[in-house]
Amino acid sequence: MRVIQEPDQALAMHRLMVLSRCLDEICCRESPHWFPSEGEEAVPVGAFYGLGPEDVCAPNYRGAPVVYLMRGVSLEQVWAGILGKRTGFVRGRHYGFTAPVQLRVLPFLAGDLGPLISQATGAAFAQKYRGSDAVTVVSFGDGTSNRGDFHEAVNLGAAWQLPVVYVIQNNQYAISMPIGRATAVKALVDRALGYGIRGVAVDGNDVLSVHAIVAEAVRRARAGLGPTLVEALTYRVRGHFAGDGAPYRPADEAEAWRERDPIRRLEEQLGQAGLLGPKDAQAVWATARAEVEEARRAAQAHPEIQPTDLGLDQLFATPVEGS
C-alpha cells in the first residue's frame, strides 16, 4: 500500500481528474470531433499539478482543459471556448480548447503537432535568460515524439541545459498507428540516452506516481540540472476523436485498459489510506457533474460570435500605416 504523503494534493488531483472526466463525457456525447481524454487524465493532472504562476505549461491537446482549471480558469470559461462562444479565449479563431496564454499556458497556434515542444523549450530559454528559477513543463503524445520537432527541441534543450521537463503522454496510438509499429525502440524513455539527459518511465495511470516523478524533474530543472524526459505510459480507451470507433485495433484491448482506469486507481489508494470512502467518492462525482453541467448551462448563455469578429484589423500588434 502506498503511503500518501500529501493527502490534500491527492484529494485535489482526484477532484480535477473527475472534473476532466465529466467534461470529456459531455464533449464526447455532444461532438463526434472532440478528442477524448478518458483514461489519460493522470498524465495532465499529475504532470502539471502544483506549478507556480511563473512556470510555463504546454500541455498536450488531449486532456488540456484540466490544466487550464489548474491555472485558475473557471469551468464556465473553459466551456465558453469549447462551445465557440464570443467569450472564449480565441473567440472562434482557433480550436475552442486553445490555451489562455495570459496564464502562461502556451497556446495551440496551428493544427500540426511538435512545434509546441520547441516553443516550450524557448519559454525555458527565456526563463534561464532572465535568471529566474521558473521552469517549463511540456507534454505531447507518443506519435509526436516521432517528429523531427521532438528531436531538435530535446537536443537543444539538453545542449543548453534548459529548465524544461518533456513529458510523453504515451497513449500507444497516433490516430490508428500503434507505437510498436512506429518505432523500433522498446520504450520511448530510452531516447533520453540519445540526448544525454535523464529519462524516467512512469505508470501513466497512477497520478501519484506521475506527479512524484514530474515534480522531481521540476525540482532538478529549477536547480539548474537541466531537462528530464518522462514517459508516462497510458492508453487511449476511446478513438482519436469521439466518432472514431477505433476498428483498427483489437476489440478487447481497450476493455483491458479500462480495468486500469486512473480515477478508480486513485480512489482505491485514497480508500486504503482512509482518506476517501466510497460515499465520499460518490459525492465528489455528483458535485463535479453538477458543477460541469451548471458551468455549461451558464456558458451557453454567453454571446455568440459575429461575422465582424473576423478581426481583419487585429492581424498585427504593430499596425502598418496605409495597409
Partner 1 sequence: MAGRRLTFGEAIIEAIRDEMRRDGRVFLLGQDIGPFGGALKSTQGLWEEFGPGRVYDTPISESAMAGVCIGAALEGLRPILDIAFGEFLACAMPQLALHAPAAHWETLGAARVPLTVRTKVGEGPYRGHPQCVEAWFTHVPGLKVVMPATPADAKGLMTAAIRDDDPVLVFEHMFLYHGLREEVPEGPHLVPIGPAAVRRPGRDVTIAATGWMVQRALQVAGQCAAEGIEVEVLDLRTLAPLDVPALLASVGRTGRLVVAHEAWKVGGLGAEVAATVAEQAFGALKAPIVRVGAPHTPVPMHPTLRRAFLPDAERIGAAVRAVLAYSR
Which amino acid would we find at residue 316? Answer: F
Question: Is 269 a binder of partner 1 (CB under 8 A)?
Answer: no
Q: In the Cβ-directed half-sphere of 302, how many Cα atoms lie within 13 Å?
A: 22
Question: Is 96 a binder of partner 1 (CB under 8 A)?
Answer: no
Listed residue (155, 175, 187, 152) closest to 61, CA to CA? 175
Q: How far is the CB of 37 from partner 1 (least distance, A)?
A: 22
Question: Is 102 a binder of partner 1 (CB under 8 A)?
Answer: yes
Question: Is 202 a binder of partner 1 (CB under 8 A)?
Answer: no
Tell which one of 26, 156, 187, 305 touches partner 1 (CB under 8 A): 156
The residue (of 94 and 289) whose beta carbon lies closer to partner 1 is: 94
Q: How far is the CB of 249 from partner 1 (least distance, A)?
A: 29
User: 53: alpha, beta or left, given left = phi > 0 and alpha = psi -120 to 50?
Assistant: alpha
Vertex 205, ends 202 and 206: CA angle to 5°?
Answer: 70
Alpha helices by DSSP H, listed for the chain, are 7-30, 42-48, 65-70, 75-82, 115-130, 148-159, 179-182, 191-195, 207-222, 251-258, 262-272, 278-300
Tell which one of 28, 82, 106, 167 touches partner 1 (CB under 8 A): 106
H or E element, residue 203: strand 198-203
Question: Is 119 a binder of partner 1 (CB under 8 A)?
Answer: yes
The residue (of 36 and 227) whose beta carbon lies closer to partner 1 is: 227
The residue (of 127 and 228) whose beta carbon lies closer to partner 1 is: 127
The residue (of 19 and 116) whose beta carbon lies closer to partner 1 is: 116
Listed residue (245, 124, 120, 114) closest to 176, CA to CA? 245
Give the footprint of partner 1 on this chain (CB under 8 A). 56, 89-91, 93-94, 98, 100-102, 106-107, 109-110, 112, 114-127, 129, 148-149, 152-153, 155-156, 159, 311, 314-318, 320-323
